[in-house]
């Protein structure tokens, strides 16, 4: 949103949110990696990675927007990490826009915030999905999606895992046109936490389209093909949507974790979902407790 005094018309500037090519995303990822932690990222002047620099990135055999670096050491495990509602409050940000205009959205588990997951499942809201998508693009591009609580603690957990050669990939189904904002978010709040990123564009986990499971399997295969390392290592997945996790477990044997949110109260077998204890811990602890459970399981069973 260029000027706070201008009337925003949905899709009027949609050309601003055209997704990059994979080579452009690789260049953006490289820019993010070399930038100082407090520097402002300018992706508008970034040019696509030329063929001579492709060797630093994995070449996936699936058609999915990606920028995943070739590991320098044999991975001890591979982690697929969701972003929306796990690292950033996409649903809350949408609710702050919709609620003042009388749009009745399902309540967030904390009682006062809507969730993006339940919004799109709610009858009638599919009719305004283009509104939701465009709002997400605007919010991401203007850096208006805040992190979850305890984001610094979560980031420290991921940095510790990477120091132990765990290969961690951000695996997000957020709509196209949000890539620059997503990388700016990672640079600001999760700097040094990821080896790469995947944008499978399949929010509902439709098996007729690219799934998060297929995308992460492609990363595993590419590591095997482009390095001398074995990628036959445990796969872990963290997501707030059970269907993504079910596919991860069924197709890859992934160890899966999900936070105790209302929309995943019964995620199914083989998915770790720890409810809060009798002390009534606040909802906001969910992402941190889930990251801690992942960390603990890796330390006790894999690392």
Q: Is 159 helix (H, G, I), strand (E, B) or coil?
A: helix
Average pLDDT, the chain: 82
Q: Which residues span the domain enclosing 106?
A: 90-141
* Burial state string for 148-167 with b = 16 or more CB within 10 A and e = fewer than 16: bbbbeebbebbeebbeebbb
**Span 50-107, pLDDT tens digits:** 555 568 999 998 889 999 999 999 999 999 999 999 999 987 787 777 665 545 444 4
Residues 123 and 232 in one domain: no
Report the CATH number that the domain containing residue 294 is assigned in CATH.
3.40.50.1000
| Lowest-pLDDT range of 28-42, 116-130, 167-181, 215-229 | 116-130
CA distance 190 to 13: 29
Q: Which two tokens stand for residue 231?
A: 């990628």
- Whether 8 is in a domain gets the answer no
251-274 per-position pLDDT tens digit: 999 999 999 887 777 888 889 987
Q: Does 9 fall in a domain? A: no
Residue 190 sits in the same domain as residue 264? yes
CA distances from 19 to 10, 182, 185, 274 (A): 17, 12, 17, 36
Same domain (yes/no): 121, 168: no
Asked if residue 84 and residue 112 are part of one domain, the reply reads no
Decide if 4 is inside a domain.
no
Domain-ending residue, one of 141, 167, 182: 141
Question: Measuring CA to CA, how many Å separate 64 from each of 79, 141, 187?
Answer: 18, 21, 22
In a domain, 241, yes or no: yes
Give the per-residue pLDDT at 48: 65
Q: Does 69 share its domain with 112? A: no
Q: What is the pLDDT, as a whole number, of residue 150?
A: 94
Residues 216, 288: one domain?
yes
Q: Sorting pLDDT into bands at 50, 70 and 90, what band is 279? A: low
Of 299, 245, 253, the residue nearest 272 (C-alpha): 245
Q: 251 Cβ partners below 8 Å, 6+ apart?
A: 213, 214, 217
Q: Of 231, 271, 223, 272, which Cα lies nearest the Cα of 250?
A: 271
pLDDT at 284: 79
Same domain, 123 and 224: no
Indicate if 60 and 201 belong to the same structural domain: yes
* pLDDT value of position 107: 46
| Helix boundaries (H) for the chain | 22-34, 90-98, 116-121, 129-141, 151-163, 179-189, 212-226, 242-252, 286-301
Does 36 lie in the same domain as 23?
A: yes
- CA-to-CA distance for 134 and 122, rounded, in angstroms? 18
How many structural domains compose the chain?
A: 2
5 located within any domain: no
Copy the structure tokens of residue 269: 């077998």
* 163 and 269 assigned to the same domain: yes
Do 225 and 264 fall within a single domain? yes
Q: Is residue 7 part of a domain?
A: no
Phi and psi at residue 199, to the nearest 5°: -125, 75
Domain limit, last residue, from 141, 156, 178: 141
Q: Is 275 inside a domain boundary?
A: yes
In this structure, the answer to whether residues 61 and 99 fall within a common structural domain is: no
On whether residue 1 sits in a domain, the answer given is no
More confident residue, 130 or 106: 130
- Of residues 10 and 287, more confidence is placed in 287
């Amino acid at each position: 949103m260029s000027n706070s005094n201008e009337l925003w018309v949905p899709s009027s500037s949609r050309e601003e949110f055209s997704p990059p090519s994979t080579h452009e995303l690789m260049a953006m990822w490289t820019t993010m990696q070399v930038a100082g932690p407090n520097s402002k990222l300018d992706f508008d002047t970034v040019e696509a990675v030329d063929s001579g620099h492709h060797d630093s990135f994995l070449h996936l055999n699936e058609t999915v927007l990606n920028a995943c670096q070739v590991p320098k050491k044999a991975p001890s495990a591979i982690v697929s990490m969701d972003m929306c509602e796990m690292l950033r409050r996409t649903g809350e940000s949408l609710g702050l826009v919709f609620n003042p205009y009388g749009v009745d959205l399902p309540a967030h588990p904390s009682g006062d915030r809507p969730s993006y997951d339940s919004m799109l499942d709610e009858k009638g809201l599919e009719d305004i999905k283009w509104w939701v998508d465009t709002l997400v693009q605007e919010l991401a591009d203007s850096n208006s999606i805040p992190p979850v609580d305890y984001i610094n603690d979560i980031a420290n957990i991921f940095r510790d895992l990477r120091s132990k050669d765990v290969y961690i990939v951000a695996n997000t189904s957020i709509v196209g046109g949000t890539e620059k904002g997503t990388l700016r978010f990672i640079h600001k709040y999760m700097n040094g936490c990821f080896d790469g990123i995947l944008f499978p564009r399949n929010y509902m986990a439709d098996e007729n389209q690219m799934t998060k499971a297929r995308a992460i399997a492609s990363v595993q295969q590419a590591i095997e093909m482009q390095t001398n390392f074995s990628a036959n290592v445990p796969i872990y997945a963290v997501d707030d949507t059970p269907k993504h996790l079910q596919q991860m477990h069924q197709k890859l044997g992934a160890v899966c974790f999900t936070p105790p949110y209302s929309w995943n109260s019964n995620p199914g077998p083989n998915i770790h979902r720890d409810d809060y204890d009798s002390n009534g811990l606040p909802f906001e602890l969910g992402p941190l407790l889930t990251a801690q459970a992942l960390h603990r399981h890796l330390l006790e069973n894999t690392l």
